[in-house]
Chain A
Amino acid sequence: EAGVAQSPRYKIIEKRQSVAFWCNPISGHATLYWYQQILGQGPKLLIQFQNNGVVDDSQLPKDRFSAERLKGVDSTLKIQPAKLEDSAVYLCASSLLPGASTSYEQYFGPGTRLTVT
């Protein structure tokens, strides 16, 4: 089966600019996650979708970050405006069953490495 797709793989922008990342999960996976991984730290959950509804966005900096999942499939994460501290790898993951998603492994995409200068 095809894996989780993400684009772009790399992005360099200046602070105060905007950027958007795209994720296409594995077909049939109801749950989608966006993580931010800063160098030297573990991935931090930004937002979790179940189908096209938000389950958890408690760690999403809502003043500058937004995310949507259109029709419960693809998802876009946007940063506007970017700050230097947003430099990180942004990982998208999906998993199979919504009700028991914590017991099922997450399938990760290759990530987008963002550098803010």
Chain B
Amino acid sequence: ILNVEQSPQSLHVQEGDSTNFTCSFPSSNFYALHWYRWETAKSPEALFVMTLNGDEKKKGRISATLNTKEGYSYLYIKGSQPEDSATYLCASYNYGQNFVFGPGTRLSVLP
């Protein structure tokens, strides 16, 4: 089973700060990269599905980029708010494997 890594493991920022995290995934046989937000006691919620090298997607204050050649994706949050506090998960789908999730980045936004 191929490895998907995320960094940092956890992050504490002040309200209003911008932040970003990294997802590293196998570049060989890559097909799709998913980002999810998982708030405590709730269901994981899909943020983005990305497939093309150079893809950039945006939803409100959150955006993501994808580099399939080097195997990484960045998730950016502009002007963090307390309601952004959650665990952010990425999952890679590579041919010959099924979805492999990273361990997540736990974000805490302090008011």
Identify the A interface with B (CB < 8 A): 3-4, 33, 35, 40-45, 48, 56, 58-59, 91, 93, 102-111
The residue in chain A whose Cβ has the minimal distance to the Cβ of B104 is A42
Given A42-B4, A48-B98, check contact A103 B46 (CB 8 Å): no
- List B residues 15-45 near A (Cβ within 8 Å): 31-32, 34, 36, 41-45
State the Cβ distance, B53 to closest chain A Cβ, in Å: 15
What chain A residues lie within 8 Å of B31 (beta carbons)? 102-103
Q: Is the CB of B43 within 8 A of A109?
A: yes
Q: Is B51 an interface residue (CB 8 A)?
A: yes
Most chain B C-beta atoms within 10 Å of own C-beta, residue among A35, A44, A108: A108
Is B103 part of the binding interface, using a Cβ–Cβ cutoff of 8 Å? yes
Is A105 touching B103 in the complex (CB atoms < 8 A)?
A: no
A42-B102, A43-B91 are known; give 5 further A-B pairs, CB within 8 A. Answer: A42-B6, A42-B100, A102-B99, A106-B34, A106-B46
Which residues of chain B in 76-111 are interfacial with respect to chain A, using CB atoms and an 8 Å cutoff?
A: 89, 91, 93, 98-104
Contact indicator B43/A102 (Cβ below 8 Å):
no
CB of A81 to closest CB in B, whole Å: 25
B4 touches A103 (CB 8 A): no
Taking a contact as CB atoms under 8 Å apart, the answer to whether B43 and A110 are in contact is: yes
Cβ contact within 8 Å between B99 and A91: no
Write the nearest CB–CB distance from A41 to chain B, whole angstroms: 6
Structural contact, A4 and B1, CB atoms closer than 8 A: no
Identify the 5 closest CB pairs spanning chains A and B, nearest first: A42-B101, A105-B46, A108-B44, A102-B93, A108-B43
